[in-house]
């Protein structure tokens, strides 16, 4: 039962001819074709805008890490303390990392 047979299509065409007439059917088909063409171009434009918008959003909102190496503070040598001789405290360089988001700058 679910299959569309050739005689179904013939009956449908005859009914459409009787309802609308031979003059109106080509005009209706032409109008339908134009409408579908416009609809297709608009949906394609929306998809392109969506893809372009996502690419711009990804480029605008991509955070980056900024590394900055700072030199340790200079410490004056302390006078000799005890039998071991002079001791000077040494500190390794400090690395500061922070995530910068472009939305914070606006």
Written as tens digits, the pLDDT of the chain (106 aa) is 578 888 998 999 888 888 888 888 888 889 999 999 999 999 998 888 888 877 777 666 656 656 666 666 777 766 666 666 555 566 666 666 666 665 655 4
Question: What is the C-alpha to C-alpha distance for residues 62 and 81, in angstroms, rounded to an integer?
Answer: 53
The whole-angstrom distance between residue 85's C-alpha and the CA centroid of its chain comes to 64
Q: Which two tokens stand for residue 49?
A: 């805008």
Helices (H), the chain: 6-60
Question: What is the C-alpha to C-alpha distance for residues 32 and 41, in angstroms, rounded to an integer?
Answer: 14
Question: What is the C-alpha to C-alpha distance for residues 74 and 69, in angstroms, rounded to an integer?
Answer: 15
Q: Which two tokens stand for residue 29?
A: 């088909």
Q: Taking the model in full, what pTM does it have?
A: 0.38
> Sign (positive/negative) of CA torsion 14, 18, 21, 24?
negative
């Amino acid at each position: 039962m679910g299959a569309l047979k050739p005689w179904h299509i013939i009956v449908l065409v005859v009914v459409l001819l009787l309802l609308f007439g031979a003059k109106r059917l080509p005009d209706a088909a032409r109008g339908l074709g134009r409408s579908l063409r416009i609809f297709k171009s608009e949906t394609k434009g929306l998809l392109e805008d969506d893809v372009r918008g996502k690419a711009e959003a990804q480029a605008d909102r991509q955070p980056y890490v900024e590394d900055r190496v700072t030199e340790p503070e200079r410490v004056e040598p302390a006078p000799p303390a005890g039998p071991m001789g002079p001791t000077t405290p040494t500190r390794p360089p400090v690395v500061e990392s922070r995530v910068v988001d472009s939305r914070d700058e606006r």
